[in-house]
Structure formats: C-alpha cells, structure tokens
Chains A and B, each alone.
Chain A
Amino acid sequence: MRLRLQDVRKSFGENSVLRGVTFEVGPGEVVALAGENGAGKSTLTRVISGAHRPDSGQVLIDGEPVTFKDPQAAMARGIEVIYQEFRQNLFPHLTVAENIHVLDRERHFGRLLVSKKRMAREAQSVLGGLGMDIDVRRSVGSLGVAEQQMVEIAKATSHDLRLLILDEPTAALDERESQQLFQQVERLRAEGVSIVYISHRLDEIFQLADRIVVLRDGQVALNTPTAETGPAQVVAAMVGNAVDDFYPKEPNSRDDVVLRVRGAAAGRAFHGIDLDVRAGEVLGIGGVVGCGRSSLLRALFGLERFTAGTVEVDGRPVRLRGVQDAIRHKIAYLTPDRGAEGLCADLSVETNISLATLRRYTGPADLVRRGRERSACGDVMARLRVRAASPAVAMSSLSGGNQQKALFAKWVLSGPRVLLMDEPTRGVDVGAKTEIYRIINQLTADGVAVVLVTSDLPELVAMSDRAVVMRQGRVVAELIGDRLDEQSVLEHALVGAA
C-alpha cells in the first residue's frame, strides 16, 4: 500500500475532529474523499501532509510508519497537497518557471548565478510532460485560475511524486477546465501516482474515483469501490442521522409575497433566478460554495449589479444601485464574514447596533440624541438577548454568538421587510445557535421575509419553510414539505438528479 492510515485521531482542545480514521490508498489508485463541511477532511489532509501531527494512530507510507516534522518533510517523501486556496502557495509576481522551481534548493541552474534559461527550459519540459502549453516566462499572476492550478500541479510533479492530495480542485474551475484537470488526474494515475481526491461534487467523484471514502464526524462512514455504490448511498453516508430537536422552528408564513425576483442575472455568477418570498416565510437556499447563492444575496443588497431581471418589495419595483437603495426599501443583510464585513470591533456594542439607523437618533446640528439611542438599543438587546456587560463595551469583548445577535439587533432595529442572511450561525456555539433560530422566529412572526443561505444542511432543512437549491448559478430545484430533506438538497446541489 502506498498510503495507510491506521486509527488516526486528532483533536483541538475539546473538539475532536478525527476519531479513529483507517483507510488505504494503493499505487495508481484514485480515492475520493467526501463528507460534509466539518467532517474532518481538511484536518486529515493536514495530518497526511505533515502540517498537523496526529494525537494517536499512524500514517504509513509504503508500509513504513512516518512522522513528518513539517510539510517539507512530507514533500521529500513525494507527498504533495494542492489546497483549495492554492493561490496562496504561488508567487504572483514571479514567472511560471520560477514558481515551479521555487523549492528546489539542491538545484541551482547555473554555477554562480541562477541561469534563467536553464530554469525555463526545465520548467518547459515539466509542463510539456504534462501536456500543458503555458509560456513559462509569464508571471503567474497574469494567468487564469485554471492555468495557475496547472502550475501548482507541475510544481508538484517536478519532483518524484508518489501521493497527490487534491482538495476541492474544481471549485474555481469551469466545466472545460475541469475536464482538463481530470485528464491530468488520469495521466498521473497511469504513471502510478496515488491520488486522494477531495470533492463535494458527486458527478466528479463517480467519474474519477476507483474507491470512495466518506468521512462523517471524524470517522469513516463508507469505504467502498466506486462500482459497488451509487450517489444515494454516498449522500446517505455523508448525512447520517441528524438530531433536530434544537431547531425551534415556528411556521409563520402568510400569503402575501414580500420579495419577488424575476429573471435575475449577474454576469457569470447567477442567471434566470425567479423567487417569491412571502411575509413570515423563511426561504432557504441550498447549494455548494460558489453556486451563486452568496452573489445573489449580495446583489439583492445592492453590493453587486444585476445584469438582468426585476426585483419587487411589497409589490413595488425596486432599483438596487447600492446599499442605500436596499436599506431604503427595507432590505437588510447579514454578512457571512462577521469580522471582515459585519462589525466594528473597537466600537461599542451600542454604536454597532445603531449604525444603520443612526439618522433616527440625530437631532438639530446632526447631534446624536444619546438617550433615545440608548433606550432603543437597550430594548432590542433585551428582546434578542444580546448578552454584554453593558451597551458601552467594545464589540470585540463579546462572544461570537453575542456579536452575531448584536448584528441581528442592528437590522431588527431598522424594521426590515426582507432579511437576507448568509451563514448566520457560522462560528457560533450551539446554545447561541438556538437563540438565533428564535430570533428568526420573532422576525417571521412580525411578517419579515427571510432568505437563509447556509452550508449547515440540518439548519437549512429545519429552519426553512421552503428551500430552493442552486447549482452553477441556476435554481435547479424547489423543495417543500416532505421533499425538503438533507438528502434531496445534497443530491440537487451536487448532481442535479431528480
């Protein structure tokens, strides 16, 4: 066996991510590694590549137990990882040739000074061996994403490559580019390289893999040759049995449509989107990262431009040229990245909460009426149970859950008709999650139309009255009632099967 994992365990503090993982990869074998977010795929990758050390268990290469000090040590044994964020490993201002040879310490390409010609010649031959046609003198930053990925692969194969781990390699590629990548994978397999292929996309997995390993909650939930299984079985293994008693969902949906979207499109991000969201309804949007759902929310908040289509709020057409337009039409938006886009960490909780509605509390000469502001913030903080030592403490002193509740408070204060939320419970502990679901209930009880984008499938299924699934910029399914379950969402998101 090229790679054997023997009861590998890894935890971070209280959080045990890998709980006894055992599987093997043979020479010239492609093993697909699947699992939901948080199942442990990335941690496993980092254990194999030497970025993390396992707490217990063994990693065996060619039957020999290894402990890698760092990823360089793993590379010396012919183990390479191409991460989803592979661009972080490339130097955009250096040429293709320089990037390919950047880690070659033993080869100097010249006696004293680096011979660029020799370097370029060797890089060209590496790329040629992979059947790629990229000018090695170009800077990597000037290449497209797919070409950059090819450079990363070439970098890996410029050494004696024995095991290649690809983490979501097609996430940034289009269909044609993906097919080119698959050809490279086939080529490497034919050369006897072992490949671990991590992907959310079932169609790719079934096209490429010899064997499929599914991780769930840090354990192997399925390990079977591809020929002996089908998408339904893989999805079932990924989902497992979810507990759903901490979702206090209340159905509040009424008949009147608040948000109506017709034929909406924005460049390549999404197109042909028709949506109706009713008062008090939670419309969930499922789909993998990059399917266009986050762009759709941003466009509905005026952050990205629609290139076609119409939007109506409460029956009135709305033009969304910027954030101010969205806010004026009572559309609110909770960003997926709380730290970068959501909160002003050094400012007080109160200041953060009143930020979007400050004009209501300013009087003559633009002076802020502190009393009114304080009482309004105090009310909404009590209603949403934002726990802070006082409204005057810095936002950064709050826990993730309370920060998120404070951001909810900011928009609740604005009295929205439509609340768009992208990953509202990311990085929030379990207790606070339930409180956030209660806030969503309060909002729908008030007749707010909620659009919920989340990668947390159980959450999507439990909190949505109705869900649509997006894939490659289109709505591919609408699920309601009995048909709204994790398995259907996943199937539509990944393969589009009926």
Chain B
Amino acid sequence: MSPTRSTLKSVARQLRAVWMLLLVGVILSIASPVFLTSSNLLNVGLATSVVALLAIGQTYVIILAEIDLSVGATLGFSSVVTALVLRDHGLLPALAAGLGVGAAVGLVNGLLVTRTRMPSFIATLAMMSILAGMTLQLTSGNPVAVTDYDFQGIGQAYLAGIPVPVWIMVAGFGLFGVLLARTGFGRFVYATGDNHEAARLSGIRTQRVKILAFMISGLLAALGGFILTARLSTAEPTAGTGLELESIAAVIIGGTSLAGGRGRLIGTLVGALVLGVIDNGMNLLDVSPFLQSVVKGLVILLAVFLDRNVDALRALIPRRGPSAPPGSSAPDDGLPTVQPTPVPTLDPDAPRQQSAGVPAARPTP
C-alpha cells in the first residue's frame, strides 16, 4: 500500500473530468475556428457561471449524502423577489431580500431533512414544486423587468476584461473550496457524509452541519439568480427550471460520489465547464438545441460509467511484461474473480451486537 494511494485515487477521480474537458476542448477547437478565441472562452465562462454556482452548494449537499432538487426553483423564486423589491425599494434591500429568500429556503430544506427525517429527495422535490408555484403566483406568470443600472452590472459589466459573473464564479469556488477543504466545518461535512453515526458519536452536531449545507445551497441559488436576472435585465419566473439537474450533473461529472463522504469542489468546477463547453460547442457547430440535451445526457452516462468501470476497462487493455501491479491483475479467462468472503462473517458464532438503540431483551419492569 503506497502512502498516498487514497489521495492519488481521489485526484484520479477529478482528473477524469479534466481529461473529458480537454478531450471536448480539442475536438471543438479542431471543428470550429471560433472555439479557442478569448471572447468565446469568456462566453463559456459567462454561460457556465450560474450552473457552476448552483453546483457549489449541490456539492456540499451531495458530499453529505443528500440532494437538493430545489435549487432551480429557489433561483427562480429569489430572482422574482429580488426584481420586485428592486423596483420598489432599491438595490441593497433587493440584494438582501434575494439572499434572504435563498437562505430561508435552505433553512427550511435543512430543517425538513434533519428534524422530520424526511429523505432530502422528497423534501426538496416538494420544495421545488412549492417555490415554482409561488413564483408564478407572485408574478402572474409574467417576467419582471429590471431597469436598475447598477444591478444590471452584476451580469453585464466587465472587470479587467473579464465578465463580472466569471469573477463571482471564481470567487465562489475559491471561498467555498477553502471552506470545504481547509476548515473544521468542511471536515465535518465530509465526516457526516461518510458515516453519520460515527460523526455524531464524535461530538459533531451533524444536524447543524446539514442545515448549513442546505443554506449554502440556497444562498448560492439566490446569487445565481442575481446573475441571470442582471444578464437578461428581467426576472423570468421559469428561469431556474432544469438547473437543479444541470447542477447535479456537474457535481457527478466532477467525480463526487452520490454515496457521500467523497468529492472535491475543483472537480465540480471542471464538471460545470464540461457542460458549458459542450453547450457552447454545439451552438458553434449549429447542432439542434434538442439534440444538445441528448448529448449532455450521454456525457453524464459516460462520466459515471468511467467512474464505475474504470478498473474493468483497464483490465481490458493488454499489459506487457511483469509491470502490472498486483492489485490490478485481471482474470485472463474473462470470468469474474471470486471474492473471498470477508473475514468477520466467517465465524457466525462471533458475538453479534443488536442494532444500536434497540435493546435485544426487554426485561420485565
């Protein structure tokens, strides 16, 4: 066992997304002369920024072995609220209201998941539906125009030649990347996602950790809403539809495990860029928008397939000489290797503990 094997493994997971990004990039730069121009690349960044921000929060939630299906609807709802407050009360109250809505939605999601023990899939699915309906009710289904010049700058201005949304995206990944990888809170996220009981028995307030992660997800959805609204100069009630799935796709392509406990934010950034580049490339190549969705689906399948089957694929590649590491030796006959039964189950007489909290005997009172 080499000392850094687990680190290498985790880096390798991220690298697969990087390879995928490079592969798509090379293909597109050959297929289209426009692709590698700086203005096009900035376009990719601009177009990716919203999904990428949503995917940050989604990464936290997925590392905790939960899921947030409400981010798209949260984005739509907070956008509309922001635009309405902006019209009547000005910039700062609007920003506060938008972020407040995002955080509040996250708080409710977190409370539902931790206090009522509802699966997050259900809780956030319901939240998605509720928010989508409230957004339409609030606006009667009509877009809300935004005329505030400063607010529009969030989506349309440039700083040092780079669009502001790209700066926000970079800052978001920097900040939340450090939070996840370097802080105590980040540790608690990984520990809780890896083994909730073990984390709890180590004194970690796991419920609080989960609530905070859902709140981060809600806040970033609101931030994504600012960017989208500012870019379009209008808050579209249905703007967020489908973005929850895009954000999940970015996280998965980025190598984060849905089982929880594993994943890195840099992978998510690459995953979001893969999706953005594919979108952009297909626009450049004039592929029908209907087919774009098909291609994205295939990319998700490919990413997860590689993740699950990379060892099996490696085994198909013939190796020369004795250089093959013993761990990766594949059965030559194509038959599945018989896994030895794990040692603990070998002795059925070994003392077996009843599951925690359920006393095996009920003594008479």
Residue numbers of A with Cβ under 8 A of B are: 12-13, 15, 17, 37-43, 46, 145, 171-176, 268-270, 288-292, 294-295, 298, 301, 303-304, 323-324, 327, 333, 335-337, 340-348, 351, 355-356, 358-359, 362, 365-368, 389-390, 392-394, 397, 400, 410, 422-423, 426-427, 455-456, 472-474
Q: How far is the CB of B186 from chain A (nearest CB, A)?
A: 8
Closest to B184 in A: A362
Does B363 lie at the interface of the complex (its beta carbon under 8 Å from any beta carbon of A)?
Answer: yes
B183 touches A367 (CB 8 A): yes
CB-based contact B183/A355 at 8 Å: no
* Minimum Cβ distance to chain A for residue B195 (Å): 5
Q: Which residues of B contact A288 (CB under 8 A)?
A: 361
The answer to whether A335 touches B347 (Cβ under 8 A) is no
Across the interface, do A392 and B4 meet the contact criterion of CB distance under 8 Å? yes
Write the nearest CB–CB distance from B60 to chain A, whole angstroms.
15
Q: What are some 13 contacts across the A-B interface (CB < 8 A)?
A: A37-B349, A176-B364, A268-B363, A292-B359, A294-B353, A303-B356, A335-B201, A340-B195, A343-B195, A355-B187, A355-B204, A400-B344, A473-B363
Please give me the 4 A-B residue pairs with the lowest Cβ-Cβ distance, nearest first: A290-B361, A472-B363, A290-B360, A390-B3
A341 proximity list for chain B (CB < 8 A) = 195, 197-198, 201, 356
Query: A119 to B114, alpha carbons, bound, how many Å?
Result: 43
Proximity string of chain B (66-90) to chain A, C-beta cutoff 8 Å, 1 when within and 0 when not: 0000000000000000000000000
Interface string of B322-352 (1 = CB under 8 A from A): 0000000000000000000101101111111
- Closest A residue to B194 by beta carbon equals A344
> B187 is contacted by which of A40, A46, A358 (Cβ under 8 Å)?
A358
Which residues does chain A contribute within 8 Å of B343, judged by CB atoms? Answer: 13
Question: With the chains together, A397 CA to B57 CA distance in Å?
Answer: 30
B185, A366: Cβ atoms under 8 Å?
yes
> How far is it, in angstroms, between the C-alpha of A312 and the C-alpha of B183 when the chains are bound?
34
B6→A290 contact, CB < 8 A: no
Asked if A345 and B194 sit within 8 Å, CB to CB, the answer is yes
What is the bound-complex CA distance between A359 and B187, given in angstroms? 11
B26 CB, min distance to chain A CBs, angstroms: 33
Determine if B37 is an interface residue (Cβ-Cβ < 8 Å): no
Of listed B203, B351, B352, residue having the most chain A CB within 10 A: B203
Using Cβ atoms and an 8 Å threshold, which residues of chain A touch B191? 344, 347, 351, 355
Q: How far is the CA of A327 from the CA of B188 in the complex (A)?
A: 16
- Please pick, from A268, A335, A358, A455, the residue contacting B365 in the complex, using a CB distance under 8 A: A268
Query: What count of chain B residues pass the 8 Å CB interface test?
Result: 51
Q: Give the chain B neighbours of A348 by CB distance below 8 A.
A: 6
Encode contact with A along B172-213: 1 for CB under 8 Å, 0 otherwise: 000000110011110110110011011111111100000000
| Closest A residue to B206 using CB positions | A323
Given A171-B361, A351-B191 in contact, is the A346-B350 Cβ separation under 8 Å?
A: no
Answer whether residue B7 sits at the interface, using C-beta atoms and an 8 A cutoff: yes
Q: With A and B bound together, what is the CA distance between A346 and B262 in angstroms?
A: 7
A397 to B7, CA, bound (A): 13
Given contacts A341-B195, A344-B261, A362-B183, 15 further A-B contacts (CB under 8 A): A12-B347, A15-B346, A42-B349, A289-B351, A323-B203, A342-B198, A355-B187, A355-B199, A355-B204, A366-B185, A368-B184, A392-B3, A392-B7, A410-B202, A472-B361
Could you tell me if B201 and A423 are in contact, using CB atoms closer than 8 angstroms?
A: no
Q: Are A368 and B3 in contact, with the CB atoms below 8 A?
A: no
The digit string for B139-158, where 1 denotes a CB below 8 A from any CB of A, is 00000000000000000000
Residues in chain B near residue A336, CB distance under 8 A: 353
Report yes or no: A289 in contact with B3, Cβ–Cβ below 8 A: no
B201 and A291: CB pair below 8 A?
no
Contact for A17 among B347, B351, B357, CB less than 8 A: B347
Q: What chain A residues lie within 8 Å of B204 (beta carbons)? A: 355
Tell which of B1, B179, B198 has the most Cβ of chain A within 10 Å.
B198
The one of A171, A340, A393, A400 in contact with B1, judged by C-beta atoms closer than 8 angstroms, is A393
Residue of B6, B7, B202, B347 near A15 (CB, 8 A) is B347
Question: Whole-angstrom distance from the CB of B332 to the nearest CB of chain A?
Answer: 25
Given contacts A268-B362, A423-B353, contact A366 B184 (CB under 8 A): yes
Contacts of A270 in B (CB 8 A): 363
Which of B7, B184, B349, B359 contacts A43, CB < 8 Å?
Answer: B349
By beta carbon, the residue of chain B nearest A295 is: B359
Instruction: Determine the distance from Cα of A426 to Cα of B351 in the docked complex, in whole angstroms.
Output: 8
Residue in A367, A390, A427 whose CB lies within 8 Å of B350: A427
Specify which chain A residues have a CB less than 8 angstroms from the CB of B320 in the assembled complex: none
CB-CB under 8 A from B6, the residues of chain A are 346, 348, 392-394, 397
Is B349 touching A40 in the complex (CB atoms < 8 A)?
Answer: yes
- Asked if B5 is an interface residue, CB under 8 A from chain A, the answer is yes
Pick the contact of A340 from B185, B344, B347, B356 — CB < 8 Å?
B356
B1 A344 Cβ-Cβ under 8 A: no
Q: Check if B201 sits within 8 Å of A333, measured CB to CB.
A: yes
Q: Does B288 sit within 8 A of A, measured CB to CB?
A: no
Q: Does B309 contact A (CB under 8 A)?
A: no
Residues of the B chain whose Cβ atoms lie less than 8 Å from the Cβ of A301? 201
B116 within 8 A of A: no
Closest to B7 in A: A392
Asked if A455 contacts B351 (CB within 8 A), the reply is: yes
B223 to chain A, nearest CB (A): 20
Question: Given B195, B360, B363, which contacts A289 in the complex, CB threshold below 8 Å?
Answer: B360
Cβ contacts under 8 Å, B346 to chain A: 12-13, 15
B354 beta carbon closer than 8 Å to chain A: yes
For the complex, give the distance between the alpha carbons of A145 and B202 in Å. Answer: 32
Instruction: Find chain A residues with CB under 8 A from B341 CB.
Output: 12
Which residues of B sit under 8 angstroms from A269, Cβ to Cβ? 359, 363
Q: Which residues of B contact A292 (CB under 8 A)?
A: 359, 363
User: Could you say which residues of chain B place their CB within 8 Å of the CB of A472?
Assistant: 361, 363-364
Residues of chain B lying within 8 A (CB to CB) of residue A422: 353
Inter-subunit contact A172/B349 (CB<8 Å)? no
- What B residues does A455 contact at CB under 8 A? 351
Q: Are B4 and A390 in contact (CB under 8 A)?
A: yes
CA separation between A327 and B3, bound complex, in Å? 32
For B352, the chain A residues whose CB sits under 8 A away are 289
Asked if B190 contacts A324 (CB within 8 A), the reply is no
| Chain B residues, CB < 8 A from A13 | 343, 346
Is B2 an interface residue when CB atoms closer than 8 A count as contact? yes
> How far is B352's CA from A295's CA once the two chains are assembled, in angstroms?
15
Least CB distance, B255 to chain A, in whole angstroms: 13
A389–B360 Cα gap in the complex (Å)? 39
Residues of B within 8 A of A368 (CB): 182-184, 187
CB of A306 to closest CB in B, whole Å: 15
